[in-house]
Amino acid sequence: MNVWLKCAFVACLLFTGVAQANEPVVFVLAATEKVVVTNPKGQQYSALPTQRLLHGHTIAVPKGQRFSVLILNTGNRRVYNGPARLKVIADTVRVLSGPAVRVFPLEQAHLDLINQWINLFARPRGVSPVKGHKADKNDAIETNPLRVLQPIDGSLLLTRNPEFVFQGDLPREGNLMLFDSRGKRFWVEPLESEYVSLPPAAKFEWGQSFTWEVRRLTGGRVLSGSFHIASEETARSLLEARVPDTAGTLPEAKLFYGMRLQLAKAYKEADEVWASLGMVLTAQGQPSRIRP
């Protein structure tokens, strides 16, 4: 009986260790371009904001470079300046070599923002996208060479003057058709250019929702999507919180503003913030570096 209990205890410890090893320890807040992360398999990649790092990851911070993180389940922001070598362990980041870490408190509002971001965008590890999604997307691009770059489907607009930007082959004598939340036709605009600004006669109001379609004159829907115009209060709140894109602005401040915009689905403004940080985000919140 004692042997069985010991075995069960050891198994429990092993399971707990594996579970902890798969739990994110670090949320990256800022990283200059040459900071490199190496995972336990030896794979290397650029450190980017919003990444979650697990136990066993190592980080190389070259001279003159900077790496800023939140240790999850704490309220502190830790900043490492190069040259430094770091390793993520179960509950912190250990300095293997380099100067001592600088520690700063994070506001509760920013901690709540990060928790909301992780809850929305973090997917279980090892889970693939929905079966067929990639193929469906590729098929759509192959059979329909026209794409909309703006407004992103489902996005929140912080203006009452929506603009459309298309990419690809426009249908000959095609129309852009807008419908209100009840499905009633709101506006029809001939599609003569990849850039469409709707005239003042199309009187958009705060808080309205729309669906839209690109249709051929001869019939047939080519493309469709939707957008929502923010309430005046929401638009004002998000725009007044804008962080200046200047050399003196901490990248962490830009990150928090971009996260707030992304969570609100204000994708156009959020993309501008991500670009200022030298990166782009997928719809699933996965970051990648902008390449020249």
pLDDT at position 220: 83
Give the separation between CA 142 and CA 165, rounded to whole angstroms: 19
What amino acid occupies position 14? L
Question: Checking DSSP bridges between strand 174-179 and strand 185-191, what pairing results, if any?
Answer: antiparallel
From first to last of its 292 residues, the chain has per-residue pLDDT tens of 455 545 444 444 444 444 455 788 999 999 999 999 999 999 999 999 999 999 999 999 999 999 999 999 888 999 999 999 999 999 999 999 999 999 999 999 999 999 999 999 875 433 333 333 333 344 444 455 899 999 999 999 999 999 999 999 999 889 999 999 999 999 999 999 999 999 999 999 999 999 999 998 877 888 999 999 999 999 999 999 999 988 889 999 999 999 999 999 999 999 999 999 999 988 788 899 887 6
Question: Are 149 and 166 contacting, i.e. CB atoms less than 8 angstroms apart?
Answer: yes
Let me know: does 49 contact 28? Beta carbons within 8 Å: yes
Residue 8 CB coordination number (10 Å): 10
* DSSP-based three-state secondary structure for 256: helix
Phi, psi for 161 (deg, rounded to 5): -125, 75
Task: Provide the pLDDT for residue 17.
Answer: 46
For residue 58, what pLDDT is reported? Answer: 96
Tell me the C-alpha distance between 27 and 197, whole Å.
40
What was the pLDDT predicted at 23? 85
pLDDT at residue number 224: 94
In order, the DSSP letters of 204-246 are --TT-EEEEEEE-TTS-EEEEEEEEEPPHHHHHHHHHTPPP-S
Burial code (b: 16+ CB inside 10 Å, e: under 16) for 251-270 equals bbebbbbbbbbbebebbbbb
The pTM of this model reads 0.83
